[in-house]
Amino acid sequence: MIPNKVIHLHSEQRNAKPTRKISAGETVQDIRSGMSDSELMNKYHLSARGLQSLFTKLRNAQLITDAELSERTTPSERTVELTLFRCPACGMPQLSEFDECPQCGIILSKYPGTKRVLQSPKAGAIAQPGIDRVPASLRGSVRDTYRGNIQRTGFYETTGVRELGELRWKFRTAGWIPASVAIDEGAAYFGSLDGTVYKVDTATGTERWRRLVGAGVHSSGTLWGSLLLFGCFDGSLYAVDCTTGRISYKFATPAPIYSSPAVIRGTAYFGSLDGCLYALDVGSWTLKWKFKTGGPIYSSPSSDGRMMYFGSMDGQLYAVDADSGKAVWRFRTSGPVSCAAAVADNTVYFGSGDHRLYAVAASNGGEKWHVEADDKLTCSPAVTHDVVCFGTGDGRFFAIDVKTGHERWRFEAGGPIYSAPAVTWDTVYFGSTDRILYALDLHAGTELWRLRTGGHIYSSPVVHKRVIYFGSDDGHLYAVS
């Protein structure tokens, strides 16, 4: 007999009554009858977060057990529809439960028509195995990571594609692709906001496997040993076997993960929207430490091997000791720091919502110089031996002298630039919301070629063996040479 209790939930609508009453007995019966998450959310008018709050209250009241919640359906059946939208001001994809964009603070009700529903793949479309601890034999080294290295410079030591030859292939998914690919041994690995991670043959564009994780993937993956590590909107860091696509392990945080992990000496570092940077041992999957900031962390951590550098929505760039998790210094700006910093020659380069690109000393955070643009900096910078390149929200793209902070050249695209640039010895590549991938001469800033896609481009291009890989909001991964 289930006690006749009432569960009180805070309203998820701003102008609704403060609380809502839900019958605990009826809810428990529905759960035990096998109702899916989607059915429960529809019946009780709950968001994904509201449903998790309900589960927590039922467990705390000892009306239901953890085993009943975890075993009542298969993981694929627990997948629910996600309502996602691209913030009209800053471009970051967000979850529908936010009334205002947590990155830039824009009130979304002022911008009608920005929301878009992404349908989850059908339940049972992909078998979902159990999650096991990864054996120590799988430990290895980093094979590829976001921006090409843990310094996040976006620099690829190769000659660029100076003339557009052909579209080698494009691979279609069911959602936007803001993530960058990780490439190794003839395969490209990437996630989509359709809630799936893919492995695609780089030569032909044919699918090798796909793995449904149940929520959108904005985080770019890191290839470490035999594993692909990436964050997910469900708040978990996943480790997927590169050969089989099987989920080997996942580590849960309380909030979505946009941040792309960096792996150094067997430790994975990544941020979460709960405001913490996590350090996770990738062999034992135990938490070594976590560092709390004053705001959500969207940025991907960068490193010089000794310290982790990352930004927070509290407007600060942090330098934290990689081993101890202790803060070494912090640099305050007048706007959110949401993109990855680039580290080169004992200097950290990063942008802020205050319209400035900063160059600070890696050792103590002392400012070397800054440049001010007419709009917010909307992507991570790319750094070579002599220039740092970045884009802004008004569609301008800049090349700045790394030593002096003086402008070398600028280029105007047809829309805001959220795609972090990739640079080679002679060419720089980036995408824009005008749906175009641009290739510019690195030294003069002149346009070499452009490729139009069917959607906005937020993905950072990757250059590998004279082929450029990038994703688009039209749902395709492109390979061009």
Residues 144, 30: one domain?
no
Domain interval for residue 11? 6-71
Residue with the larger pLDDT of the pair 18 and 253: 253
Contacts of 460 (CB under 8 A, 6+ apart): 146, 147, 154, 180, 220, 379, 380, 419, 420, 421, 422, 430, 470
Q: Which of 409, 353, 396 is nearest to 376 (CA)?
A: 353
Let me know whether 221 and 348 are in one domain. Answer: yes
Residues 279, 368: one domain? yes
pLDDT value for 81: 43
Average pLDDT over residues 166-179: 95
Is the residue at 305 inside a domain? yes
158 domain residue, yes or no: yes
pLDDT digits 0-9 by tens, 392-440: 999 999 999 999 999 999 999 999 999 999 999 999 999 999 999 999 9
Q: Inform me whether the pLDDT recorded for 105 exceeds 50.
A: yes
| Residue 91 pLDDT grade (very low, low, confident, very high; cuts 50, 70, 90) | low
Mean pLDDT of 127-153: 61
Same domain flag for 57 and 192? no
Quick one: pLDDT at residue 339? Answer: 96
- The pLDDT assigned to 41 comes to 64
Look at 4-13, 270-279, 336-345 and tell me which has the smallest mean pLDDT: 4-13
Question: What pLDDT score does 30 carry?
Answer: 80
pLDDT of residue 33: 76
Q: What is the pLDDT of residue 136?
A: 38
pLDDT at 455 over 50: yes
The span from the CA of 319 to the CA of 325, in Å, is: 9
Flag whether 349 is in a domain.
yes
Residue 129 lies in a domain: no
Better-scored residue on pLDDT, 296 or 52: 296
Identify the pLDDT of residue 7: 47
**Mean pLDDT calculated for residue range 250-268:** 94
Mean pLDDT across the chain? 83
Q: Quick one: which of 108, 107, 124 has its CA closest to 116? A: 108
* Beta carbons within 8 Å of 370's beta carbon, 6+ residues apart: 356, 357, 358, 359, 405
The pLDDT assigned to 44 comes to: 75
Q: Are residues 192 and 59 in the same domain?
A: no
CA 247 → CA 73, 255, 455, distances in Å?
18, 20, 30
pLDDT, average across residues 343-365: 97
**What pLDDT is recorded for position 101?**
61
| pLDDT reading at 137 higher than 90 | no
Query: Do 67 and 177 sit in the same domain of this protein?
Result: no
Answer whether residue 5 shows pLDDT above 50.
no
Whether the per-residue pLDDT at 95 is higher than 60: the answer is no
pLDDT at 71 over 60: no
Assign residue 445 a region (left: φ > 0; alpha: ψ between -120 and 50; beta: otherwise).
left
Say what the pLDDT of residue 82 is.
46
C-alpha to C-alpha distance for 116 and 118, rounded to whole angstroms: 6
> Domains in the chain: how many in total?
2
Residue 299: inside a domain, yes or no?
yes
Residues 214 and 319 in one domain: yes
Q: Average pLDDT, stretch 30-47?
A: 70
- Measured CA to CA in angstroms, residue 265 lies from 142, 277, 315 at distances of 9, 17, 29
Q: What integer pLDDT is reported at residue 43 of this predicted model?
A: 77
Confidence band for 31, pLDDT divided at 50, 70 and 90: confident
Answer yes or no: are the C-beta atoms of 380 and 420 closer than 8 Å: yes
**Does any domain span residue 118?**
no
Cα separation, 135 vs 139, whole angstroms: 8
| Residue 274, in any domain of the structure | yes
Q: What pLDDT sits at residue 427?
A: 96
Q: Of 19, 45, 71, at which residue does a domain stop?
A: 71
Domain final residue, candidates 71, 94, 125: 71
Shared-domain flag, residues 227 and 316: yes
Tokens standing for 355?
A: 């319209």
Choose one of 71, 103, 128: the last residue of a domain: 71
- Are 387 and 357 contacting, i.e. CB atoms less than 8 angstroms apart? no
Rounded CA separation 102/46 (Å): 21
> Does 279 score more than 50 pLDDT?
yes
Residues 207 and 199: beta-carbon distance below 8 Å: yes
Percent of the chain surpassing pLDDT 90: 67
Which are the contacts of 232, defined by CB distance < 8 A and separation ≥ 6?
191, 213, 214, 215, 216, 217, 219, 238, 256, 257
pLDDT over threshold 70, residue 122: no
Q: Indicate if the pLDDT at residue 316 is higher than 90.
A: yes
> Lowest-confidence range among 16-30, 32-46, 75-89, 138-152?
75-89
pLDDT(156) > 60 = yes
* Sheet with 182-184, edge to edge strand ranges: 182-184, 187-191, 196-201, 207-212
Higher pLDDT, 39 or 232: 232
Quick check: is 283 in a domain?
yes
Q: Are residues 323 and 447 in the same domain?
A: yes
CATH number for position 282: 2.130.10.10
pTM score, two decimals?
0.77
Residues 249 and 172 in one domain: yes
User: Are 294 and 161 part of one and the same domain?
Assistant: yes
pLDDT for res 20? 54
pLDDT at 463 over 50: yes
Give the torsion through C-alpha atoms of 321, 287, 80, 174, to 10 deg: 50
Q: How confident is the model at residue 13 (pLDDT cuts 50, 70, 90)?
A: very low
Where residue 77 falls among pLDDT bands split at 50, 70, 90? very low
Least confident of 71-80, 110-119, 191-200, 321-330: 71-80
Same domain, 64 and 182: no
pLDDT digits (tens, 9 = 90+) for 373-384: 999 999 999 999
> Span 45-57, mean pLDDT?
66
pLDDT at 265 over 50: yes
Among residues 32, 36, 130, 14, the alpha carbon closest in space to that of 81 is found at 36
